[in-house]
Amino acid sequence: MLLKTFGWSFAITAAGLALAGVLWGWQGLAVVAILSVLEISLSFDNAVINAGILRKMNPFWQKMFLTLGILIAVFGMRLVFPVVIVAITAKLGPIEAVKVALQDHERYESLVTSAHPAIAAFGGMFLLMIFLDFIFEDRDIRWLEWLEKPLARLGKLDTLSIVVSLVVLLVAATTFATAVPVHGGEGTVDKASTVLLAGIGGLVTYLIVGGVSGFFEDRLEEAEDDDEEEGAQSPAKKSGNGAIVGLAGKAAFFMFLYLEVIDASFSFDGVIGAFAITNDIFEMALGLGIGAMYIRSLTVFLVRKGTLDDYVYLEHGAHYAIGALAVILLVTIKYEINEVITGLIGVVLIGLAFWSSVVRNRRALASGDGSGSKAEVSSGV
């Protein structure tokens, strides 16, 4: 099971490190290895979130996530996306932007860093919406009962997460974005309008991709419920089954897009943080790509092992980590926060959620019914 799931990750790691050693020597090999560890530590909570979505998809789309998805993650988000950002923010042509990335590493780093406020605002708002929609939803299983129960009551207001997000964006734009330090320490610049525009873009992207995938998922569940009620097979029902397959395909497609946008949002801080280690675009792409491969393999592993069903608070911990990352991204518009802190916050929150799940499972076993009492199931703390 372990080798089957992580086999490609192990192989790509070996090939990637060997390539780094050949191209850049021992120093390049060390840089790529460090970047891989950085990506894994920063995106561990991403794997848990992805697993919660991926387990709803069939094996075909799970395979797409590991094949086409990894190509998008490595070449799209870690290699092409930073160059596109440079081209847009610096108003350079595509060819010139590529030349800067390949030949002028210091200028490339400066341009990407200067685009960080827009990147942070977009990714921060997208991740914040994921967290708020989770925390405002009324669910049977709660981790922090004292917090999640009252928030679920507030969540009955359908647009509350949007309102909160817009308020947070307005605060970020009028505080962190008004005097952003220029890369190199030469004064400050006002990025308020840029942050507002990028943040609204992140919010709109979430509403479109998440809304469409949710719509098809709801339609699929309704169609399946109707199909079960019809009883015995009939020609009409066979036609209905065809419609269900079609809905499943559409739902899975938009869920796949949703997963890719989530991965993009998580990759922003990794790409920016990588400049603290190297400004060579190929070293970054190789190191972060290896890390991204492990995150995807870990996602599939969690799905196949049923880990989220066994440790029910893991999703809660991952969503709290997402909320923390969203806030950190917005704060980094003005202030620099060490990537170690960002990674540790996610690991600690997921670790606490895992331990709470273990305690819950032990109580359930002690009760003798395998499920635990209502109080034990609904609250972890």
Which residue is listed with tokens 């009252």?
A: 150
What is the rounded CA–CA span in Å between residue 119 and residue 115? 6
Reply yes or no on whether the pLDDT at 62 is more than 80.
Answer: no
Structural domain boundaries in the chain: 2-378
The per-residue pLDDT for 316 is 92
Per residue in 4-48, pLDDT (tens digit) is 778 878 888 899 899 999 988 888 888 888 888 878 777 777 788
- pLDDT band, very low/low/confident/very high, at 69 (cuts 50, 70, 90): confident
Of the candidates 209, 64, 123, the one whose C-alpha atom is nearest the C-alpha of residue 217 is: 209
Please provide residue 58's backbone torsions phi and psi, each rounded to the nearest 5 degrees: -80, 170
Reply yes or no on whether the pLDDT at 112 is more than 50.
Answer: yes
Reply yes or no on whether the pLDDT at 243 is more than 70.
Answer: no
The per-residue pLDDT for 238 is 47
C-alpha dihedral over 96, 102, 104, 106, to 10 degrees?
120
Lowest-confidence region among 217-221, 230-234, 239-243, 316-320:
239-243
The per-residue pLDDT for 164 is 95
The per-residue pLDDT for 374 is 41
The per-residue pLDDT for 247 is 47
Reply yes or no on whether the pLDDT at 75 is more than 90.
Answer: no
Q: Which residue has the higher pLDDT, 262 or 22?
A: 22
The per-residue pLDDT for 170 is 95
Q: Do residues 36 and 287 touch, judged by C-beta distance below 8 A?
A: yes
Lowest-confidence region among 96-100, 226-230, 281-285:
226-230
Mean pLDDT, rounded, of the chain: 80
Q: Do residues 161 and 363 touch, judged by C-beta distance below 8 A?
A: no
Across the range 110-130, mean pLDDT stands at: 86
Q: Please state, in angstroms and as integers, the Cα–Cα distance from residue 374 to each residue in 331, 353, 363, 364, 381, following that order.
A: 39, 18, 11, 10, 13
- pLDDT band, very low/low/confident/very high, at 109 (cuts 50, 70, 90): confident
pTM score, two decimals?
0.78
